[in-house]
Amino acid sequence: MGTNKSLSQIRRMDHLGLVAGVARRVRLVEILDRLIPPAPQRRVSVGEAVLALVLNGLGFVSRPLYLTPAYFEGKPVGPLIRTGLRAEDLNEFVLGRALDDLHEAGLSRLFLHLASAAVGLSRRGVTFFHLDSTSFTLSGRYAGSENREDEAEEDGEPDVVRITHGYSKDHRPDLKQFVLNMITLHKSRIPVWIEALDGNTVDKTSFSRTIDAFLAQVGESDGLRCFVADSALYTKKTIGGLSGKVQWVTRVPETVGPLKKLLEEIPEESFVFDPERPGYRWCELGSTFGGVRQRWVVVFSRSARDREAKTLERAVERERKTLEKALKEITGLRFSCPDDARKAWDSLRAGSRYHRFSAGELTEERGYASPGRPRDGASPRTLGVRITGTFETDPDAVEKTLARKGFFVVATNALDDTRLSGRDLLDLYKAQGTSIELGFRFLKDPLFFADAFFLKSEKRIMALTMVMAIALLIYALAEEELRETLKKLRESLPDQKKKPTSRPTMRWIFQLMDNIHWKPSRGDPGGEVWMKDVQRKIVSFFSPEVRRSTGSDKP
């Protein structure tokens, strides 16, 4: 009987001890509870509720918010969050009120305060930030958003997002959505700013406002601040407004007028080859587009050329099929006069980019006015005109189009090339794919609890985006800490193929930490933890807070 009771008290901790330990290291609960003081009648503080949501989200079991109590039934709630706390305390009403309190306190400001303390933002000198946006789709009706659909932005509650249709980056234009702008640190997924926006928000207008809001909260700094973003940042109004405040690095859109002519005029010998970056070459030019002095780095990428060549092949084939269908239709028509036939033929030719047509051949069609046997003495007359011809692929047009492929232009208002060289600018822009884009991929992971939003309140949805960002912050900080420690100690851990690596992902580390069990211990609120040797080795590379949270280091 005693054995059965003891077994019923065993809980699975798995990788959640790492998550709770990193949260303690950045003082997540303490900071949130200081900014949002706990109400005396509440058993769970806002900070503790947020930590519970983060643990749920990083549990990678795809359990929605209202199932959080069920999720924690098999977890050691006391060691992970606070001694004395129970799974039933983390119910949907407690968590919902916590989300309301977060929204009331100001989400972006609150998150910046937490992230700044976690990464030491105020102590950094030269700092590069990556800015981008994504969209989250939702199903269902949102009365608040629908009622404000036609109202001005200043009316009602401007701090509540409007869930509505807009450009869907998830390729689901049938669903309503909201937009999330995020700023991360360079070469990391560590977020320092998040901002939920209306579903029909356009990047070209929102990016500059996001940077202004971020700078207003961060305050003055002696260090250089440089923002890296995609081509949506590059508009005359935006770069003109930002150039007196910060430095920026962005891609020049292909729609910018001077760009197409520029690519045709640059001689081959102007490009610089870098042996450290095979497949790339670039050259630097000056520009005053939008009245702003700036540097343009024209980059040619062999891999991009190869990708775009395949895309061009598909475009040529699609156009061929379209022209075949149109040609069949036009040759089957009988026109009333040669001019109409020629106009239709010229219109068909004008719609072709990669094919050339033969000269259309006109054929006069003669016959009698009425069907049946003609009358005696009746003579045939002209009934109309038909036109026929052929087309073929135009190799010159295809080659001319391909010659412009593989190029892109990175622009910056940082004129001192000794501080930011052309190579640095290329690296900065390419880092978008390994920093903020990886962060968005994390937030949209099917196993992450934010994959589908189920809340009915726009305010709580906004608050949940902050919880998502906190989960990403803790995940990225844990990964950074582990990799830096492994590099410093020249140590490694086994990867999925059993080979040593010094740069493991936290997703893989979480899998290695599977099947860690906890049980209560008489006289020790921390209890006992059972783990394998490789798991103890992993924990040893983390801070004392993490080691204590996993039970491998008693204070």
Give the model confidence (pLDDT) of 51-100 as tens digits.
999 998 888 655 555 556 778 888 888 889 998 898 888 888 888 899 99
> 520 or 429: which carries more pLDDT confidence?
429
pLDDT class of 447 with cuts at 50, 70, 90: low
pLDDT score recorded for residue 525: 65
Angstrom distance (rounded) from CA 95 to CA 63: 14
User: Do 502 and 487 contact (CB within 8 A), yes or no?
Assistant: yes
- What token pair was written down for 262? 């520029």
248: amino acid identity, one letter = W
Sign of the four-CA dihedral 184, 214, 167, 138? positive
Angstrom distance (rounded) from CA 548 to CA 526: 9
Angle at 39 between CA 35 and CA 40, to 5 degrees: 135
pLDDT score recorded for residue 148: 60
pLDDT score recorded for residue 156: 38
pLDDT score recorded for residue 143: 63
| Residues sharing a CB contact under 8 Å with residue 309, sequence separation 6 or more, in sequence order | 402, 405
> 306 or 527: which carries more pLDDT confidence?
306
> 188 or 317: which carries more pLDDT confidence?
317
Q: How many residues does the chain have?
A: 555
> 148 or 166: which carries more pLDDT confidence?
166
Cα–Cα separations (whole angstroms), residue 350 to 65, 314, 347, 354, 358: 57, 20, 5, 11, 13
Quick count: other Cβ atoms within 10 Å of Cβ 215? 16
pLDDT score recorded for residue 165: 86
- What token pair was written down for 502? 């010094």
pLDDT score recorded for residue 48: 94
Lowest mean pLDDT among 98-112, 249-263, 480-494, 534-548: 249-263
Angstrom distance (rounded) from CA 13 to CA 78: 11
Three-class secondary structure assignment of 134-200: EEEEECCCCHHHHHCCCCCCCCCCCCCCCCECCCCCCCCCCCEEEEEEEEEECCCCCEEEEEEECCC
Angstrom distance (rounded) from CA 87 to CA 77: 6
What is the strand order of the sheet 517-521 is part of?
A: 11-12, 517-521, 524-530
Mean predicted confidence (pLDDT) in 314-323: 95
Q: What is the largest CA-CA distance in the chain?
A: 123
pLDDT score recorded for residue 277: 82
| Residues sharing a CB contact under 8 Å with residue 392, sequence separation 6 or more, in sequence order | 355, 356
Task: Please choose, from the candidates 412, 472, 481, 425, the residue with its C-alpha nearest in 3D space to the C-alpha of residue 183.
Answer: 472
3-state DSSP assignment of residue 388? strand
Query: Could you tell me whether strands 294-301 and 11-12 are parallel, antiparallel, or unpaired per DSSP bridges?
Result: unpaired
pLDDT score recorded for residue 422: 86
Question: What's the mean per-residue pLDDT of the chain?
Answer: 85
Please report, rounded to a whole number, the percentage of residues in the chain having pLDDT higher than 70: 86
pLDDT score recorded for residue 154: 44
pLDDT class of 219 with cuts at 50, 70, 90: confident
Residue 451 has pLDDT above 50, yes or no: no
Residue 555 has pLDDT above 50, yes or no: no
Residue 157 has pLDDT above 50, yes or no: no
Model pTM greater than 0.75? yes
Angstrom distance (rounded) from CA 450 to CA 447: 8
pLDDT score recorded for residue 180: 92
Residue 155 has pLDDT above 80, yes or no: no
Q: Model confidence over 421-440: pLDDT tens digits?
A: 888 898 889 888 888 888 88
pLDDT class of 481 with cuts at 50, 70, 90: very high
Residue 152 has pLDDT above 60, yes or no: no
Region of 218 please: left (phi>0), alpha (psi -120 to 50) or beta.
alpha
Sequence-separated contacts (24+) of 472-475 with Cβ below 8 Å: 472/189, 472/191, 472/439, 472/442, 472/443, 473/26, 473/114, 473/115, 473/118, 473/190, 473/191, 474/19, 474/22, 474/23, 474/26, 474/28, 474/54, 474/58, 475/19, 475/58, 475/189, 475/442, 475/506
Residue 151 has pLDDT above 60, yes or no: no
pLDDT score recorded for residue 220: 62
DSSP 284: E
Count of alpha carbons within 13 angstroms of residue 405, beta-carbon side: 18
